[in-house]
Structure 1
């Protein structure tokens, strides 16, 4: 059983890497042209996909990486590079999607970029693997960590469902500005993830 300190520590760790509040600007940027109903559908799908991905990493992530002979730092570097490419599209790409979107378009938007890599970010995937290390933690511990994860994803959904009123306040121009700013922040986060991965594998060992 996790004690109160461990629960708080894991909650804070997962909150930081998932960043529910930081996901809101990304959600606003890519759903600015959608109706309120479409935004709600995208929010629910994005959180559902994120939950499925992160829970799958809890169950299979470590086994798959070990089977492929890949270390966690290598995964972190790859994830950082993917996140950096996405950040560039936010900075230089269109400010918002087309105003009329097909059902397939909404599904794709929910998956990328909201679910992956915004909610289920490389950092979040890495964190859930570390927090449920099969060599250190029992199945009961892993189940409790999964429950904490689901609570945070539920809070994330709540923030996304409140994004509509926020968009009405800031308007399309505000959403465009937020998208560019978030792109710069995500680019910095991605570079930091790559550098941390390089340090872990010793590539940047001090002279």
Structure 2
């Protein structure tokens, strides 16, 4: 895996997990928790999200193959879903507003909902880890690198949650909203690329090397 691919995968994972956009969700979900427990609350949420995403990374493609589905079709479907997810980030309510709205009718005593799922381990993130670790086109070594990149992004997320109060005071809710929408634009580009790669995987389209 070359440096360009590593950077691309890191950016993809960073965008779909969206550590900055998760901060307001954390502050809302932890509002009823004693401040001395906020650190444990954040750690529990990130560990839960990591477990979910690693399970999808390891077993997601096996499930697809058991159902008789080709990875190319999943790349196309995943790209479409990621694109719709990106559109919701760009034109709809911000991630924080959306997740908090869903959380108002749920039990917020734990860190699993809405923080671990769907804020950190979002549907977009689940799809992304499966797409990035194609068992047929990606070696075990490269999949291990992707897993390390995932853990790196989750580590950034944990740091962001531990510094949530300071970050939100610094950029404000408006700043967090702007960052989320910029990430939506990046995700839309990644989603289109996923569809094109899926078409190429299925032999429907032949893509020229980048820059040609």
- Which of 129, 134, 141 aligns to 1:124? It is 129
1:130-141 pair list within 5 angstroms: 130=135, 137=140
C-alpha separation in 1, matches of 2:41 and 2:205: 41
Unpaired segments ≥5 residues, structure 1: 1-5
Quote the residue 2:148 is aligned against: 148
Pair 1:93-2:92 in alignment: yes
Tell me: CA distance 1:191–1:161, structure 2 relative to 1, closer, same or farther (3 Å): farther
Q: CA separation in 2, counterparts of 1:33 and 1:46? A: 13
Q: By how many angstroms is 1:85 displaced?
A: 1.8
Q: Which residue of 2 aligns with 1:182?
A: 183
> Alpha carbons of 1:128 and 1:166: their partners in 2 closer, same or farther (altered >3 Å)?
same
TM-score calculated relative to the size of structure 1: 0.67
Q: Are 1:25 and 1:182, in contact at CA under 8 Å, matched by a contact in 2?
A: no
Cα RMSD (Å): 4.1
- Alpha-carbon distance in structure 2 between the residues aligned to 1:142 and 1:61: 17
Give yes or no for contact 2:21–2:177 (8 Å, CA) kept in 1. Answer: no
- Structure 1 residues 197 and 162, CA gap change in structure 2 (3 angstroms): farther
* Residue of structure 1 aligned with 2:13, choices 11, 18, 28: 18
Normalised by the size of structure 2, how large is the TM-score?
A: 0.66
| Residues 15 and 184, structure 2, Cα contact 8 Å, conserved in 1 | no
Q: CA deviation at 1:168?
A: 0.8
Aligned twin of 2:210: none
Distance 1:184 1:13 in 2: 15
